Structure 1
Amino acid sequence: MSTRQIRKEVDEALLGFVDRQRPLLLGVSDELEPMLAALDTLLAGGKRLRPAFCYWGWRGAGGDARPGIVTAAASLELLQASALIHDDVMDSSDTRRGQPSVHRRFEALHREARWPGAAAPFGEGAAILLGDLCLAWSGEMYEASDLAEERLARGRPVYDLMRTEVMCGQYLDMLEGTRATGTVETALRVVQYKSAKYTIERPLHLGAALAGASPELTEALSAYGLPLGAAFQLRDDVLGVFGDPAETGKPAGDDLREGKRTVLVALTLERANEAQAETVRRRLGDPDLDPAGVAELRTIIEETGGLAACEAMIDRHAAEADAALATAPITAEARDALTALTVAATARRG
């Protein structure tokens, strides 16, 4: 199955699941329609990387093309929706995938209806609840995937670990932004738990576990998935500063306004002179940062060598992933598909 076909089937599985849930919510109250509309908009975007890695973990371990694996893999998109919704609340992000973030949608609903009280707490509360609902639904969709019970039982510990790790990574990310004293080492720790494991390693492990993979294969998938996951997040960090909004779905330099303490920022501060470091610390996290301010910070990131160092780090991690994949005991079809996903996850865009 091609990556495009996997995405199509994942989309269909997601749409079918949410449509089956729709009567339940609307049976409670038709005032829940905005929740469904917000979720529909969010789920319409995304690269579907986690389901793809889960699927190829399954096929790489010898699993066949049965429909149930696509449904189980697609459930990871509901977990991702939960993480994104909550992440946007914590970061006070205005946009996601080129659309207003969920909490901003509900703020706007509050204002348009002219309800009493402040709009922001309502928006944040509604978003948190929708994120919680997506988290609950991710488990429900996984269990309803029509895979044999013994397969689902093998996958549950991996799914549980994945959910725990991403919450830990999110907390560490928030902590780094609050303390504002992070190093390259601490930023890489966030990368490992918030992204590398969550985006690539654990989805691969989940698919492989569902297929009954050996410990040796699971270890080989880690050797590939962890460095690739790091490269993927580092690329995302670069795009968060230098990316084209048409590609990223966010305004140019939005990560700078949000004050994200990424590896890119840590590498820059590590190389900056006193004046450059003072400018970065003063302007990073300014919600009113204008295009001139974004340009100033971009210049410092480039002139210090922070960008070049981050690009070199991406290349090293991608090369490590390629080397591990070349020797992994997986099917040839899965190796070819994962090679293509390596390129997609680390390509320079925007």
Structure 2
Amino acid sequence: MPVERPLPEPRGTVVLIPAGALVLGGDLGGTSTRIAIADLEGNVVGRGAAAGGNPTSHPASAAANFGQAIQQALAGLDPAHPVDPAMVKTAVIGVAGGSALSRPEVRAQFDAAWSGAGLVCEPQYIGDLEVAFASGTPAADGAVLIAGTGSNAGLVRDHRLVRTADGHGWLLGDDGSGFWLGREAMRSVLRALDLGEPIGPLGEAVVRAVLPNRDETAVAEREGYDRLRDDLIRTVNSRPPVLLAELARTVVTACDAGDETAYALVKRAAELLTETVGRLRTTSDNGPLVLAGSVAGESSPVGRLIRQSIRDHFDGEVLTARDGVGGATWLALGALDPGLASGENHTRLVTPPA
């Protein structure tokens, strides 16, 4: 028996949502793939997780991880009661690097993982900015800033992304991101070595992170400085550039320990991220701003400075993104029926499980 919940569709069609209908939310990032399935009251009935699902870098493995996480979620929280794929009526999936899904050969791999799990509804793929915003607030309008390995910002109207700033990638932008912090930390070390100056606590931490097996006694000699510079340059250039983002943790730790060079980098990162937000917002905007990503987190010194800077420059609440897959699942409820996108369901879905 269908629930008497009419769902308006395009061209005036009215569809009744069947009893027992479910929705699916997904959060596909560079390091993890997460899927949640929920009922119409916002209760999660299935969860799945796998390795990275970003389709840009490794589409085949990303699609495989996507399929694995779906299968895990369909198994249900209670093994005695698996989820019926036919009851999943809407799906919203946030994807980092989602533009790769516009390539037919990549989309085909994701479609195969989807249909192979027995799912029949059409998945809606959206960007990670929309998912991050929805995870932080049930508001329809506002802005969102993600600062992790990369950085980008978005303006949201009626739960949809209408404009973006930065997100240009490590070569062209991502100002203030983890990659930016790592690159600038390395540049500060190389600059000191060029000048024959002490590299300081941050520089020593960078050297230990990049060259963990190096004999540090060589650093004390002038020729040791030359060798150190060459070793750093050779090692960094032999690895994928994005791995410089791993040095962001080194910068944050040094900043918290009182290193002046690290603090200067953290302060500049916060300024750049505030400028990115400023490309989208004006001083009269009063919608919430949701901050997401490890660099913008509340425990990060960059995150703390961003929050203060944002409050100094813009009106509106500054909120922290919560469970991304929960935000996507809440959006899926709203796609099925706007009335289901309630504040209560939002709280239930974005609060991580104990």
TM-score, structure 1 length as denominator? 0.29
Structure whose residues are more often helix by fraction: 1
In our comparison, the structure showing a higher alpha carbon Rg is 2
TM-score w.r.t. length of structure 2: 0.29
